[in-house]
Amino acid sequence: MEAKNIKFRHVYWNPYFGGLMLGLLIAATFYVTGRGVGATGGTKATVVKIVDVVAPEHTENQEFYSKYVDEDKNPMKNWLVFETLGILIGAFLSGSIKGRVNFRIQHSPKITSKTRLIFALAGGLFFGVGSQLARGCTSGAALSGSTVLSLAGFITMIGIFGTAYLFAYFFRKLWI
């Protein structure tokens, strides 16, 4: 474990370089499409699609789904779904170049894998709900939002990081 860690610990990009590239990418995205990057949107589309397949009437009656499902509107045929696909491919490319692809669970030595997974699930749940309320997650609302100086973007950014700093103490066992 230790040896493996050392092998790929510092092969990451310099964070400022990553930030610069990411910033230029976001600017390019805005330049080409007029909107920013996103991550939860694709996930949401799959949720809607699955619900639509399993219970079509339900999607029609329920207001939240019906926004995304129409006669000729396939929720999967969505900009964000393709983007999400791209993220998966891109990350896999980067990971495989640097030899980071393998099945494993990353967690602090103080907790078990099971605890880690339970908390990961809970964290995902929170993010799922939160991103719907906030109209975007860290990438969609905070990152792309603040780039175009939108108020919502800064609220979300300050909200997420502020809360996380406030509550960091209570979750320290999970990480340190």
131 burial class (0-12, 13-18, 19+ CB within 10 angstroms)?
A: buried
- Taking the complex as a whole, how short is the minimal distance between the CB of residue 57 and another protein, in angstroms? 14
The H or E element spanning position 25 is: helix 15-33
- Could you say whether residue 93 binds another protein (CB under 8 A)? yes
- Could you say whether residue 76 binds another protein (CB under 8 A)? no
54 burial class (0-12, 13-18, 19+ CB within 10 angstroms)?
A: exposed
Of 69, 74, 87, 111, the residue at the interface with another protein (CB under 8 A) is: 87
Of 4, 91, 110, 173, the residue at the interface with another protein (CB under 8 A) is: 91
Between 71 and 169, name the residue whose CB sits nearer to another protein: 169
Provide the mask over 113-152, with x wherever binding to another protein is found by CB under 8 A and - wherever it is not.
---xx-xxxxxxxxxxxxxxxxxxxxxxxxxxxxxxxxxx
Of 49, 52, 75, 80, the residue at the interface with another protein (CB under 8 A) is: 80
Q: What is the token pair recorded at 59?
A: 């999607």
The CA distances from residue 24 to 11, 31, 37, 71, 157, in Å, are 22, 10, 12, 38, 19
Using CA atoms, how far apart are residues 175 and 168, in angstroms rounded to an integer?
10
Query: How many residues of this chain interact with another protein, rule: CB under 8 A?
Result: 130
- Please report, as residue ranges, which positions from 47 to 66 form the binding site for another protein (by CB under 8 A): 47-48, 51, 62-65
- Please report, as residue ranges, which positions from 17 to 46 form the binding site for another protein (by CB under 8 A): 17-41, 43-44, 46
Residue 108's nearest CA partner among 176, 45, 22, 21 is 176
- Could you say whether residue 155 binds another protein (CB under 8 A)? yes
Q: What is the token pair recorded at 16?
A: 């400022």
Residue 91 near residue 83, CB atoms below 8 Å:
no
- Could you say whether residue 112 binds another protein (CB under 8 A)? no
- Taking the complex as a whole, how short is the minimal distance between the CB of residue 104 and another protein, in angstroms? 7
